[in-house]
Amino acid sequence: MTGACMIPGIRFAGIASGIKNAALDLGLVVFDEPAYITAVYTKNKVKSAHILYNKRLRSNEVEALLVNSGCANACTGPEGVRDLKELSEKLTSHLKAADGKIVFASTGVIGRRLPTETMAKALPAAVKDLRKNGIDSFSRAIMTTDTYPKIARASFKGEKEYSIAGVAKGAGMINPLLATMLVFIFTDYPASPEKIRRKLLQGAKESFERITVDGECSTNDSVMLFTRQGREDLGCLDAFCNALFSVMKELAMMIVRDGEGATRVIHITVNGAQKKDIAEKIARRIAISPLTKTAFFGCDPNWGRIIAAAGDADVPIQPAKVEIILQGEVLAKNGIEMPFDEDKVKKLMEEKELELIVNLHNGRASYDIYTTDLTFDYVKINASYRS
């Protein structure tokens, strides 16, 4: 279920602070009572300043989240972290919050420092803009090349009815583990990080780590889950996890469907593998292959590109056993082409969402992932990203 939703005790704002030219670029979330944060960050060895800053905080209690778009604040040296400390002090003063209780996230161009003076001047306006139903403005303020805001929600019952709302940004530089995406999930469900961290990791593996747009891993990727403090309602922990996973999967699919310049989403399933790891590596290799992705864009059933990518995944494979099925049509079996109606398959490939199955016929393990086609517009967007 998509759309805006209100979470008790949480207020949102999204304003134009001046980082971008006349566009929303600064999002603020304030918790009426301190919340817990549980976070997962990029596996890229180069990490943005907001990740370095957040990891240094002594407590997992937070009172506010400040997110900016238009500047990644990555590769900015010690100054990038100090800029966040300065902003934290100023925002703490405006909110009358406790020291060290504000976390950050940034997205945009790598290598540029935040315009802290500009942002600091905008903080009073952001605080004034806070509203319980302001999640839509917040979601728009964190967008970069996204074509639409990404919000998902769910509810579940325990001792009371609880709500979850997730907000994401991301369209390019998507290759989890993780991706150029920021994801913020808010709930009034009371649970400590110790109880749910493994669940968050599991959810990320089954959602955000199952999508790729261009095979590029970012410096800023962050998934943050904010839960309420208080007596834990562990009797409905499974219901919470089901709702959480549902929101994460929905956000992940929004991201891949909004892939930069993409016209199609391809669901790739590799099965019949001896081990899941083998299936995953082959699926990921096919998913990031420029040749397979451009073939999908051109509606070209060139299965040779698919099997070639599979053979380049650096895992054992027996080509003479491989079967390739696209949109329900068998293109190859036992590693060789089967007779198929090329015009029919081309027509089937015009659909917005495609199904590709690669059966290795060598075991029972499988893995699936979602990717996009590679288009002229992707090149145009990224060839001029800084300008």
Q: Select which of 180, 219, 227, 371 is catalytic.
A: 180
d(CA 154, CA 332): 42
In sequence order, what DSSP letters do the residues of 119-166 get, joined into one string? HHHHHHHHHHT-BTTTHHHHHHHT-SS-SS-EEEEEEEESSSEEEEEE
Task: Please indicate whether residue 76 is annotated as part of the active site.
Answer: no
In sequence order, what DSSP letters do the residues of 330-366 get, joined into one string? EEEETTEEPP--HHHHHHHTTSSEEEEEEE-SS-SEE
- What DSSP element (H or E) covers 192? none
- What DSSP element (H or E) covers 184? strand 182-190
d(CA 204, CA 364): 24
| Residue among 281, 335, 276 at smallest CA distance from 307 | 335
d(CA 29, CA 14): 9
Per DSSP, the three-state class of 223 is: strand
Number of H helices, E strands in the chain: 11, 14
Asked whether 367 and 356 are in contact (CB, 8 A), the reply is: no
Compute CA distances 83 → 76, 89, 230, 339, whole Å. 10, 10, 33, 62
Helix 303-311 to helix 290-297 angle (10° resolution) is: 160
For residue 299, what are its two tokens? 């509606």
| Residue among 348, 302, 298 at smallest CA distance from 328 | 348
Amino acid present at 86: E
Complete edge-to-edge strand list for the sheet that includes strand 353-359: 336-337, 329-333, 323-326, 353-359, 265-273, 365-372
For residue 80, what are its two tokens? 């990038």
Count CB neighbours of 348 within 10 A.
Answer: 17
Active site residues: 180
